Amino acid sequence: MGNCIICGTPVDGWVCKTHEEDVVFEFRGTTPSQLSSGRYYRGTVDGYADFGVFVDIGDHVTGLLHRSELDQRLESLDWEPGDEVCVQVLSVRDNGNVDLGWSIRQSADEFRGELIETPEGERRPEDIADDESEDVTNHATDDASVGTAGGETVAATGGSVATETATPSTPAADDVAETPPETEPADDEPALNRTTVDAIENQVGSIVRLEGEITGVRQTSGPTVFELRDETATVECAAFEEAGVRAYPAVDVDDIVALEGEVERHHGDLQIETETLEILEDDDRETVEQRLENAIEQEARPSEVSLLAGHDAVDAVTDEIVAAATTIRRAVVESRPVIVRHAASADGYVAGGAIERAVLPLIREKHTRDDAEYHYFERRPLDGRIYDMDAATGDVTSMLEARDRHGEQIPLVVLVDAGSTVESIDGYDLLSLYDAEALVIDDSRADAEITDAVTTAVAPSLADVDVSDLTSSALAANVAAHVNEDVRGDLAHLPAVSYWEEAPEAYLELATEAGYDETALSERREAVALEAYYQSYKDKRELVADLLFDGDADGDLAAHVSEQFRAKLETELETARENLTIEEVEGLTVAVLDTAAFTHRYNFPTTNLLLDALHRSEREGESFVTLGVGESDIHVRTTDPLDVRTLGEQVAESVPDAGVRVVGGHDGHVEFIPGERDAVREATLEALGDTLA
């Protein structure tokens, strides 16, 4: 029994519950379970990821400060690896992962007290005798200490000592026992046989030899962590020179190496404590490279080709679907991140969600880290359906930062429900300058030039088939089913979800067999459409997964959100209907809506979604057009096929000073300068009469 160091209240320990958050703790434990949720701890910045910052709490535990917990943008955080910081422990998960929270106080002086947390309880710093403090320090460094002796680097790991030849420049550390000079193994000493990453789970505590490719390198405040991939899987290998100093500086990403070390568990993940690391050359290198390539070829190509359902537009690109699936699988096997870019629409989110559903389990299988799926997969919605220089520049900036700061490989960029027209080629060219692959999965009428700009284009329009009954989700779900056969059943209902009307019967049957009736499909479609609008630049990974998959098995979430969707859409439709102007042009009925004047520009629904719904509800007869005229753009919906690019060319010819251009190709929209709005409106009506009447 003691007294609280803040208020003096008698407590078990040295701080009462009321003042726990007024104290900063130094952690001297060895496992995450010994941490206390809610307390603030001193830590050290370990490194950055796209989703947050890793912070070492003491010598044995690392936690994640997610970017959502920061009080500023992650990019503006000026912490460097090795910096001492203060963080709050929010929770410790069952798997040992530690979730951290932001602390506005970043110095121990800003707290009202300091305590040391040990497995036995809290201790005051002044109560720890010098000899006891030394014992604790020695125990904490058993897992990673370093010194030099006789021209060798000596690293102690788990009580065992490993040596690595080094240039004799530093005297032996006082606290490291002198090690005799390394000698050549006796001729009769058996060489260590190579093992594979997928076999080390049953070899914890053993010394193993691995051969493979270095796919990532990151420097922490302690060891250097190398990511090694062999023909079976990927594992992290920690090598310690001294705190924060790069071990094996000659070894980098793409090197073929032989590594020996002890198999351990680090925060629940398998890890190799590296004893030796050698770059392989000549025949040895070629042997490993060939072994890796054979394994990749065998593993990357889908074992069987079977489309989800009969659909002419999808059947026409079966080879391209298999090629796209192979490219995605190969990226996972090679430990390259997969970046999915998709339109911020219901179809875009469903299609992107299909790829995500297939890839994440493969990443979990391939990597021993629990957080690997956040390192190696990301979905980034696009503003529109063009992969322009703005989007490409953002992706290149992110991938170069990940390469330089975290040693990650150049990613594969997958465009879904976007990117199939010539306006995206400049973006692909920028990616190619950094050897970043790209592939496209899109239901739009694509431009043939795109096939030379990307690795694979899954675009049925290039096969001269009718795409009027096609969605990008139908294409993406088929690609995803070949990326990962194990999730095929999870994907069966997604094509039907993406159709606002007249879904192919084959997809409706698939959805029914999977347990989704018409109401369940429409509610999920509407719910995703609404959520796609809010924070459209974010992936909303967990929410989208809940809406589309087993997270919302009873449909309560989808029903709740879709009810909001219908209420908001109907309000806007009522306003739009009251302000429609019906015009007859060469026997063609055109419903014109001034979207600049009669829509809430920054509220749901978007102009595209509103015009789609308005056209479905108002169309009459065989030749009906809904025209949305904005401040500087025109969007067209027709019952008959229309080439918007041809329409734009006619308008530009009629109003040459209006700066008319078409964005998005055949299925895009017309843009112009606002000062010529009335002239462009009249020229568009005339061109529609000439084209469709």
pLDDT in tens, 423-477: 999 999 999 999 999 999 999 999 999 999 999 999 999 999 999 999 999 999 9
128-146 mean pLDDT: 47
Q: How many CA atoms lie within 13 A of 334 on its CB side?
A: 22
Between these two residues, 368 and 592, which has the higher pLDDT value? Answer: 592
User: pLDDT-based confidence at 146, cuts 50/70/90?
Assistant: very low
The beta strand positions in 421-572, using DSSP E, are 437-441, 456-458
Do the beta carbons of residue 296 and residue 244 sit within 8 Å?
no
Distance CA 319, CA 275 (A): 46
- The answer on pLDDT for 558 being more than 70 is yes
Cα dihedral 15, 18, 24, 30 sign = positive
Amino acid at 408: E
Distance CA 345, CA 607 (A): 12
Q: Scanning the structure block, which residue is given the tokens 């060939």?
A: 290
What per-residue confidence (pLDDT) applies to 177?
36
User: What CATH superfamily is the domain 142-179+190-282?
Assistant: Nucleic acid-binding proteins (2.40.50.140)
User: pLDDT-based confidence at 369, cuts 50/70/90?
Assistant: confident
Q: Do domains 305-561 and 579-692 have the same CATH topology?
A: no
- Which DSSP state fits 595? H
What per-residue confidence (pLDDT) applies to 289?
92
625-645 mean pLDDT: 94
- Which DSSP state fits 580? -
What's the pLDDT tens digit per position in 468-527?
999 999 999 999 999 999 999 999 999 999 999 999 999 999 999 999 999 999 999 999
Taking CA atoms, 461 is separated from 203, 251, 379, 421, 472, in Å, by 53, 47, 25, 12, 12
What per-residue confidence (pLDDT) applies to 181?
41
Distance CA 285, CA 299 (A): 21
Task: Specify the fold of 579-692.
Answer: Diaminopimelate Epimerase; Chain A, domain 1 (3.10.310)
Q: What are phi and psi of 11, to 5 degrees?
A: -145, 160
What per-residue confidence (pLDDT) applies to 693?
65
Do the beta carbons of residue 183 and residue 163 sit within 8 Å?
no
CATH 1.50.10.10 fits 2-140, yes or no: no
Q: 141-150, 197-206, 412-421, 673-682: lowest mean pLDDT where? A: 141-150
Q: Scanning the structure block, which residue is given the tokens 């040693």?
A: 407
What per-residue confidence (pLDDT) applies to 550?
80
What's the pLDDT tens digit per position in 238-262?
999 888 899 999 999 999 999 999 9
Do the beta carbons of residue 582 and residue 590 sit within 8 Å?
yes
CATH architecture of 305-561: Alpha-Beta Complex (3.90)
User: pLDDT-based confidence at 81, cuts 50/70/90?
Assistant: confident
566-594 mean pLDDT: 93
What per-residue confidence (pLDDT) applies to 400?
94
Chain centroid, CA 638 distance in Å: 37
In whole numbers, what is the pLDDT of the chain averaged over residues?
Answer: 87
The ranges assigned to domains in the chain are 2-140, 142-179+190-282, 305-561, 579-692
